[in-house]
Structure 1
Amino acid sequence: MMAISWDSLTQKKRPKPPAILLYGPEKAGKTTLASEFPNAVYLQTEEGDGVLDIASMGKIESFGELMDAIGMLYEREHAYETVVLDSVTACQALVWAETGDRGDDKGNKKKRIEDFGYGKGYVYALAVWQEVLDGLNALRRDRGMTIILIAHSKIERFDDPETVGYPSRPVAAHLLTLREPDDRRQLHCVAEA
């Protein structure tokens, strides 16, 4: 048995703050739970019920506003330690609108994500989602901020032909991954809308 000695003391690099997905039905307390994290600032893509006293830039109405908010948190000095995207579910509409505005490879703009053709709009939207996630990862990596993503579940009935049907609760968004290649603590979620 080896004895512990002062010479065995080493300095370890502090791990990155966590990236967390709070997922559940409406009114389950996801926003309230996120408010318990230290010095949280909210990027609100939905109104919320106004019950909590939170730091927020107000309701974000466009993809550009979302990226501007992330950019301000990255560039300016502040005391916030946690950034909460409330919600990923509502943010999806902003991402899809931006995807349509950018259009396809030929620059043809689209009104709806489905107008790109079978499944193609969702593929184009992945690049737009990645910009959001890259911005959040930069806050986590360079500014030491905890990232919290709030996502709503939706109840869908799954009727299995071989057994009794049951309700399922998929994430109500086409969600990507919050990942960096060298990071072992990763948030992975791929879901169907």
Structure 2
Amino acid sequence: MLNVDITSGKINNKAQKVVIYGPEGIGKSTFAAHFPNPLFIDTEGSTGELDVRRLPAPTSWQYLMWEIDQVKANPDVCSSLIIDTADWAERLCINNLCEKNQVSGIEGFGYGKGYVYLEEEFGRFLNRLSDLIDLGINVVFTAHATMRKFEQPDESGAYDRWELKLQKKDGPLLKEWADMVLFANYETFVVKEGSGDMKKAKAKGGRRVMHTVHHPCWDAKNRKGFPEKAEFDYSVIAAAIPDKSAGRTEMPEPAPPVEDPAAAQAMNEPAAVNQPESQTPQTDPTPASDGSAKTQLYDLMNAHQVTRNQIQDIVAKKGYFPAKTPIENYPDDFIKGVLVGAWDQVHKAILDEEIPF
């Protein structure tokens, strides 16, 4: 006898995993904004003209993971989480892998290993987002499209097809993960104008359409019986997207930081830590949105309520720099490779008072 419950029948009102991709400027973000009670993680800064709720733009892969964990811990904050866009999120993942392993690019791992590592990390990212599906939160990716030459091994000749603008292993992984993949494009047609031998072919049209099933020239799929081609309008899929009770529409206020004046000022204000009173206070030399190594570290410190003293202490215990060396004096490659790149280990070590590196 099986010691497990067996269920049958359709599962209705299950949160959906959706990928919307197409050429730039076609309106992917606007389309995604129509999902029920959406909350954006804008990785590329493309939603500035939209009246939507958004989390801070992630400056590192670790910060993006932390934001997803925050949504998971507060499931009433939204009914739909929008990752805008998948390819810019992938860039954060690639940067993180390269910084941790101190290579200049994904090809630097050699023999295709970089793409394997990337696929594994991107897969963990999708698994993390699947936890939100279990909480009733739709997860929506927008992504750019790129045209690539495609050649079938059993056929002669090649042709162009539209694909997700992701690395060669991540694109298929994301398509498999999604419940529906929607390809948006401009519908054009060729007409001949003129008379006799003077006829010239001209492209006309420009209507925005959405493709919902696979075609030799693009990837798409759905399990809801949508028409193969429809207007690029949210109303086409609205009935298939569940809207759980929204509850709160704002993230709860974060807990107050540990009492450390320097940590409270880590992002935008001068901080004086382990310095004589007569010395000029430390100042963050970069704006909070510039994506520099120090900004990435400050974002993670702020998110996890880690103080400057804790960072400087753990770095000193390992013997990298004296305890009084301000964070601003750490080399960028050290911050990227050791502190940001291995943040989960560093943070755990701070909590456990152990040194992981």
Would you say same fold, with TM above 0.5? Answer: yes
Partner of 1:138: 131
- Give SS of 1:154's match: strand
* Residue type at the aligned position of 2:97: T
- Give SS of 2:50's match: coil
Partner of 2:114: 121
Gap change, CA 1:12 and 1:78, over 3 Å in 2: same
* Residue type at the aligned position of 1:131: R
The aligned runs of 1:1-193 (5 Å cut-off) are 14-48=12-46, 50-103=48-101, 109-141=102-134, 143-156=135-148, 167-174=160-167, 175=170, 176-177=173-174, 186=179
Rounded to whole Å, the distance in 2 between the matches of 1:156 and 1:179 is 20
Gap change, CA 1:79 and 1:152, over 3 Å in 2: same
- Give SS of 1:118's match: coil
Query: Residue 177 of structure 1 contacts residue 187 of structure 1 at CA under 8 Å; is this kept in 2?
Result: no
Identity of aligned residues (%): 27
TM-score of the superposed pair, with normalisation by structure 1: 0.75
Q: Deviations over 1:86-137 (max 9, x none)?
A: 000111111111222333xxxxx32211100021101001121022101110
Gap change, CA 1:117 and 1:51, over 3 Å in 2: same
Rounded to whole Å, the distance in 2 between the matches of 1:158 and 1:179 is 19
Rounded to whole Å, the distance in 1 between the matches of 2:115 and 2:10 is 41
Unaligned runs of 5+ in 1: 1-10, 104-108, 189-193
- Give SS of 2:95's match: helix
Query: Residue 147 of structure 2 contacts residue 162 of structure 2 at CA under 8 Å; is this kept in 1?
Result: yes
User: Aligned-pair RMSD on alpha carbons?
Assistant: 2.8
* Residue type at the aligned position of 2:145: S
* Residue type at the aligned position of 1:140: I
Rounded to whole Å, the distance in 2 between the matches of 1:179 and 1:28 is 24
TM-score of the superposed pair, with normalisation by structure 2: 0.42
Structure 1 position 58, deviation (Å): 2.6
Partner of 1:8: none
- Give SS of 1:28's match: coil
Query: Residue 71 of structure 2 contacts residue 77 of structure 2 at CA under 8 Å; is this kept in 1?
Result: no
Structure 1 position 14, deviation (Å): 3.8
Query: Residue 98 of structure 2 contacts residue 106 of structure 2 at CA under 8 Å; is this kept in 1?
Result: yes
What is the aligned residue count? Answer: 167
Gap change, CA 1:32 and 1:117, over 3 Å in 2: same
Q: Deviations over 1:55-94 (max 9, x none)?
A: 1113212101110110000012533000011000111111
Computing the radius of gyration from Cα coordinates, the structure with the larger value is 2
Gap change, CA 1:34 and 1:71, over 3 Å in 2: same
Query: Residue 37 of structure 2 contacts residue 79 of structure 2 at CA under 8 Å; is this kept in 1?
Result: yes
Gap change, CA 1:186 and 1:159, over 3 Å in 2: closer
Structure 1 position 170, deviation (Å): 1.8
Bigger relative contact order, structure 1 or 2, given CA contacts below 8 A and separation 6+? Answer: 1
- Give SS of 1:153's match: strand
Rounded to whole Å, the distance in 2 between the matches of 1:131 and 1:119 is 19
Structure 1 position 28, deviation (Å): 1.1
Query: Residue 157 of structure 1 contacts residue 166 of structure 1 at CA under 8 Å; is this kept in 2?
Result: yes
* Residue type at the aligned position of 1:89: D
